Chain A
Amino acid sequence: MQAVSDEQLIQWVAQGDASCLGTLYERHHKGLYNYALRLTNNAAHSEDLVQELFLRLMKKASSFSNEASFKSWAFHILRNLTFDHLRQAKRQQTRTDADEVLAQELVDSRSAEQAAAGQQDVQLLERSLARLPLEQRDIIWLGRFEFADYQSLASALGCTPATARVRMHRAMKALTAVFELLNGVVSNV
């Protein structure tokens, strides 16, 4: 049971009770951290981003309006922070597109313990997800783990529900294609 809603808590933060942010942290830190981690692929940067997010929430609490849920609002701010961070770090430039390296990684990762097909599939799926463009990883992660409907997903992304739906379809198609491609690479080595 959540006796007090997230929206009520952030209103109290706006009125000066910063301690309510502690409750919001306990409720949402795991989802927020995993989202940042999925986009940055870096644990230390993801922690910094979540820390920065809570400072922003404290500063911007009075600008929260009940048009969207607190959760959508928080993810939207974290999304902007993460995209800015990635732009600055130009992390995407460091991505390698050498398929041989990837294939080798996949072969190396097939240890005896991981031979079970299911586990291998999940690993492959994670690798497929990691190879998608940032915007597609972003929408798939939010849609699969954080928001159950297009309205709240759209609020987090800052677009309309119809746009979120179209983007989600494209992203899932891309994920399926990459997964099948990598699956083929693994099967042929």
Chain B
Amino acid sequence: MSEQIDNDPTLMGDDPQRDLWQALERVAQVEPAQQLRQRVMDDIHQRSAHANGHRWLRRLLFAPQPALGMMLAAVFGIAIGLGVGRSGNHLDQRMASLETQLVAVNQQLLMSRLNAASPSERLAAALQAATLTEPDPVIAGALLERAATDAVPSVRSAAIAALGRNVNSEATSMQILRLLVRGESPIVQMAIVDLVLRHGDRQLLRALQEHVKATDIHPSLAGYVSDTIGEMEI
């Protein structure tokens, strides 16, 4: 085992030196500006989106099966859009229709990626799903299935986080709590707890509280849930 610096006899042998070493403890450490956190997070997000973009392009151009499906779906969506565009008289109607089709195509693409064979593809899809602003029950269902069945903990964890406010629907909330068991990966357990604490309504928070009491999840996590809900005064 490596020598502890604090126990080094040569360093601590001399009185003034030892006093100075101990006085260093009082030198203040400061927090960096809040903007630094934002800058770093923006960087991470941009670079990872950039990297994923390259992978996406490669996949679209060179990979055989899933990319072809996606490309066909996109072409199909555009073709329908153009068809509707020709027959409609009003620009607003055309735009609305195209938007609907675009949403449908995007949904299909996302579903296809969520069910891809590659774990990194599924993970990227779950991260992308987390950025959706409108609740989508179809995507929520697929995310829930990933959360329950995916073999890779980081995919399960990302799928749980992506559920967001969808967690309050009755079907989702009951299933998500059932996933919170001791045998589950710690990062997944934390993702479930984090999801419910962030987005859960009063009823779900109470259900979480009861669930934690009834199951033998890690005591630290159970304590964290209990303390946080206690602070919320639900």
Contacts and interface: CB of A to CB of B under 8 A. Distances in A.
Contacts of A1: 220
A129 interface: yes
Nearest to B155: A17
In this complex, the interface size class of chain A, counting residues with CB under 8 Å from chain B, is 35 or more
Contacts of A54: 40, 43-44
A150 B21 contact: no
Contact of B11 (A16, A31, A172): A172
B52 to A, nearest CB: 8
B154 interface: yes
In this complex, the interface size class of chain B, counting residues with CB under 8 Å from chain A, is 35 or more
A16 B24 contact: no
A125 B27 contact: yes
B100 interface: no
Interface in A26-66: 29-31, 33-34, 37, 43, 46-47, 50-51, 54-55, 58
A55 B186 contact: no
Contacts of B26: 118, 122, 125
Label chain B's interface by main secondary structure: helix
B172 to A, nearest CB: 22
Interface string A1-22: 1011000000010011111111
A143 B44 contact: no
B133 interface: no
B27 to A, nearest CB: 6
Given A147-B5, A168-B11, A58 B41 contact: no
14 contacts: A3-B218, A17-B154, A29-B40, A43-B33, A47-B33, A51-B36, A51-B40, A55-B43, A58-B48, A118-B26, A122-B23, A150-B5, A172-B20, A179-B16
Given A51-B36, A172-B17, 5 more contacts: A19-B127, A25-B37, A54-B40, A58-B44, A149-B2
